[in-house]
Structure 1
Amino acid sequence: MIGWFESCSVLISRHLTLPALIHRHRIWGPWSRMNVFIYSAYTLVNITLVFFHTHSVTQAGRRAGELALINLIFPLSATHLSYLADLLGITWRTCCKIHQATGWMSVALLCFHVVAECQSRGFSFPLGALRNISTLIGSISLAALAPLSLPWLRRRCYEVFLRSHQALTALFVYGTWRHLPDQTRLPKLYLYAPLVILTLTTLLEILNFCYTNGLFSGHGAPRAFVSFTPEGSLTHPKLRKAAQIRIVLPRSIKIDAGQYINLWMPSVGFWSWLQTHPFIVTSWSRGKHDTIELFVQPRSGMTSDLLSLAASAPGCPVSFLVMFTGPQGTSEIVDGYETVLLVASGFGIAATIPYLKKMIHGYNNCTLHVRRLHLVWQIESIGEKTLPFPVSQHQH
């Protein structure tokens, strides 16, 4: 059975998962054959449910509104997709794809619902009624929410997008709740279900946040010691301006290779108390961690302010009060492979360091099957001080 399962897995990967029908684009993609099949089937199921046994456009529009609420159960189930992905045991990228697919499907269904309702009422929409005002609030929130979710706009102002996305979603939920008639309980049940799930996941996330940060352990909050990588210590020009963060934890936690934490440093800048940033953990140990090491690539906002503060005191780490959520993310299983190839470029080397440490440790202690390890790092120049963090070197 194991051999048959592996053969089917190889065939699925070769013919469905790996070949790309739509290559990477700045707006969409890449989409493999499997992605196109799943999205097409998902769309076809929703269209069938909208028009199945419906006798008028009005009835189809009302069913579309109910289906939109059902599709919104997943997007409204948690405040952070990374925590929801960990609860479901899937990758963050897969969780984002599900979130996007269900969100855009809900937008399409609600647009059809609005058009059908306007056609049945003859565009009669008096604003004197409170229910109509709530409907207008929900519609405007949805109309603003959809274009703000486009990738090219989201990448340019991510922090603004994130907070506006959450605020507009809350307005949309409020407008929808007031729009639903009191005599129909089933549509409101579709709205209450994700709100109950959201409350439970938020409560679990808060409890996990308090535990990992040791807020009630009596050992104080985590402290971050930020040091600046001075000019000339790294030979690669893109790695010269960087910051290394060492977080001292009040409570030991288990972190696997490839996992990351969301860091909150309220005292770094004026708006930093509103920002959380994900960072890959570059340290690894077989047991639990008492400290966490991070390598920060400065871009803008909090990371740029952090680099400026660290550079103002060269040779002396700057201390900050920090809070974090995590560890989050899934770790790639490398136990059963004898040959491993790692590919990185520039700052991407930080994500491979924990795997390197793990596999070297497993090779030396005969706990992994890894025998050959190849690292391909795209870099302009190589010197003895290129690596921005220490890695044990072993020759066999």
Structure 2
Amino acid sequence: MLSHYLLLVLGCIGVALLAWRVTQLLVRYVRTVTCLHNDTQRYFAEASGKYSWFKKNVQYAPIFSKRHNREFQLSSALNVGTLPTRMQLVFLVGYFATNVAFCVMTIDFSGSLGSVASLVRNRTGYLSVVNMIPLFLMAGRNNPLITLLGISFDTFNLLHRWLGRIVMLEAVAHTLAFLISNASRSSWAGAFDTTFKVPFLMWGFIATAAFVAICIQASSIFRHAYYETFKLAHIALAILSIIGLWYHLDLKKLPQLKYLYAVVVLWVFDRAARLIRLAYRNVGAGGTKTLVEALPGGACRVTVTMARPWDFKPGQHAYLYMPTIGYWQSHPFTVAWSDESDHHSAEEKLPMRRQDILGNKKTTFSFIVRGRTGFTGALYSRAAAHPDGKMVTRCLVEGPYRGSSRLHSYGTVMLFAGGVGITQAVPHVRDLVAGYSNGTVATRKVIMVWTIQSPEHLEWIRPWMTEVLAMEKRREVLRILLFVSRPRSTKEIHSPSATVQMFPGRPNIDTLLGHEMENQIGTMAVSVCGPGALSDEVRRAVRSRQYQGNVDFVEEAFSW
């Protein structure tokens, strides 16, 4: 069956990506072990001609010259999305072409209209159901391929959207092929009359209508303008499409039903895993406690004391539920800081067992939330309305979910951040400085470049950076460059020390990168998290210098 070949194609791609992932992990491990006591790391700083060409022209390349993550903005509330990378486009075009080929190959189009339409109907219907398996797999927060293949949720989210369009087109082609075949024997009126009178056909038509509605309401314009409404409608329509398709297949006991079983299992698994995470992280030991602080620049610092300990790693994110702000809505935020402390009263006996010790530990996580529209705007307004700008509320945390790769194997690390994108950089800075002090990482230079609109935005992370700047051997490894794009006066711009410097305006990414590469130690990692324009500029600078040194690009993005 052609549907089996389609799954085989996806399986082969998965195996190839897994082999690439294992190779990359092995290289990083060897590099880390080799460079632990090597302060020059010259071998790993040199660029490889062929690999540099691949990274510049394939792996990191946008479709055209520069634009990838910068959105096509129609207004402050409306945009039409972003462009995929060159590799993503090759996969999408190739997969779409494979589906088209499987729908029409070996069909004799010189035959009668009815016979050709019947063959197309069977092919498109079968493939539409089969494609729902990767469609639902890529939509899940607990998608095992994220960890297994090292591919970000953001990439899977993009693939999910395009696979959804393929499923919809095949469902529409399936429905039209039936109508054409039926109309060729009677009339169009008779074809539609049969569709709505026969339950088997009616449920199939309902499923197709749900697919079309999903693709319309999931378009970037509606998704960004009415995100909360979109999300609820998206789930409701997805459930309707499964119910309609289930009855459509079950009434005739069609063989495609076994693929729908897999779809339902994937959806139930993801929802169950989310509920288990929520219950485990938030129930017991007094539950979670949350403090929301309104900060300058329209942002909030959300600090959550968890019910259970959590082994935090840099780059992780979590979904926050705040019933008092948005009933049963969940929104993803990067964990900006974590602390762990012991909690027990004076009357309690000292813990003796390991379970008791862990039970007394409390993990605290902090997030920076920029108030915009919808949930984030309501959260900031609610906190700012309190006399002291602080609000205690109820919050459930779902996570942790995987973030960016750890950067321990890189001799030089540059972290670019724009605005609240600093939440991705700060945990890496603390992790790398601690690792350098302990001698457990290959990193010898860490440069953090943060672009903000006003110096008052420094308050977002001031308590955490005070702790980082007090860390042992920090001055030997860390430099911080702050760029204020809209200073009110030159008096606001002052550099506290040689390792913490402040400048007016926006950074020249290419100049900064070139300066660091002149004294590069080992392989360099360049990470970016912030507005799409900043990410695209950093990507362009990294690509342009691929032949000058061994440089890897790490982009943290969360498109929705």
Give the TM-score category using the shorter length. 0.7 to 0.9
**Equivalent of 1:34 in 87, 94, 106:** 87
Counterpart check, 1:325 vs 2:406: no
Which residue pairs with 2:336 in the alignment?
Answer: 282
Measured after TM superposition, the shift of residue 20 of structure 1 is: 2.3
Which residue pairs with 2:158 in the alignment?
Answer: 97
**CA–CA distance in 1 between the matches of 2:400 and 2:49?**
34
Q: Which letter maps to 1:112?
A: A
Measured after TM superposition, the shift of residue 285 of structure 1 is: 6.0
Which residue pairs with 1:18 in the alignment?
Answer: 60
Measured after TM superposition, the shift of residue 152 of structure 1 is: 2.0
Residues 200 and 251 in structure 2, CA contact (< 8 A), matched pair in contact too: no
Which residue pairs with 1:334 in the alignment?
Answer: 407
Residues 301 and 460 in structure 2, CA contact (< 8 A), matched pair in contact too: no
Which residue pairs with 1:256 in the alignment?
Answer: 313
Measured after TM superposition, the shift of residue 265 of structure 1 is: 0.9
How far does the alpha carbon of each residue in 1:63-89 deviate from its partner, in whole angstroms, 9 at most, with x for none?
1111010001122348x6332265655
Q: Which letter maps to 2:334?
A: I
**CA–CA distance in 1 between the matches of 2:220 and 2:260?**
27
**Equivalent of 1:172 in 233, 241, 246:** 241
Residues 338 and 364 in structure 2, CA contact (< 8 A), matched pair in contact too: no
Which deviates more, 28-37 or 148-157?
Answer: 28-37
Q: Which letter maps to 2:172?
A: C
The alignment's C-alpha RMSD in Å is 2.7
Secondary structure at the residue paired with 1:342?
A: strand
**CA–CA distance in 2 between the matches of 1:182 and 1:133?**
11
Counterpart check, 1:83 vs 2:142: yes
Which residue pairs with 2:181 in the alignment?
Answer: 120
Residues 254 and 289 in structure 1, CA contact (< 8 A), matched pair in contact too: no
**CA–CA distance in 1 between the matches of 2:83 and 2:457?**
38
Secondary structure at the residue paired with 1:119?
A: helix
Secondary structure at the residue paired with 1:296?
A: strand
- CA shift in 2, pair 1:331/1:286, >3 Å: farther
Which residue pairs with 1:219 in the alignment?
Answer: 285
**For 1:296-311, what aligned pairs fall within 5 Å after superposition?**
296-311=369-384
Unaligned runs of 5+ in 1: 230-238
**Equivalent of 2:118 in 55, 58, 68:** 58
Q: Which has the higher helix share?
A: 2
Which residue pairs with 1:155 in the alignment?
Answer: 224
Measured after TM superposition, the shift of residue 186 of structure 1 is: 1.2
- CA shift in 2, pair 1:31/1:290, >3 Å: closer
Unaligned runs of 5+ in 2: 1-22, 28-43, 73-79, 109-115, 342-360, 477-560
Which deviates more, 92-101 or 49-58?
Answer: 49-58
Measured after TM superposition, the shift of residue 276 of structure 1 is: 1.0
Counterpart check, 1:240 vs 2:297: yes
Identity of aligned residues (%): 23
How far does the alpha carbon of each residue in 1:34-68 deviate from its partner, in whole angstroms, 9 at most, with x for none?
22321222122112211233342311221111101
Which deviates more, 362-371 or 335-344?
Answer: 362-371
- Aligned positions, number: 379
Q: Which letter maps to 1:43?
A: F
Measured after TM superposition, the shift of residue 388 of structure 1 is: 3.2
TM-score computed with the length of structure 2 as normaliser: 0.63
**Equivalent of 1:361 in 434, 453, 457:** 434
Q: Which letter maps to 2:286?
A: G
TM-score computed with the length of structure 1 as normaliser: 0.87
Measured after TM superposition, the shift of residue 93 of structure 1 is: 1.2
Secondary structure at the residue paired with 1:326?
A: strand
Q: Which letter maps to 1:223?
A: K
Q: Which letter maps to 2:87?
A: M
Which residue pairs with 1:48 in the alignment?
Answer: 101
Residues 141 and 153 in structure 2, CA contact (< 8 A), matched pair in contact too: yes
**Equivalent of 1:108 in 154, 169, 173:** 169
Residues 344 and 377 in structure 1, CA contact (< 8 A), matched pair in contact too: yes
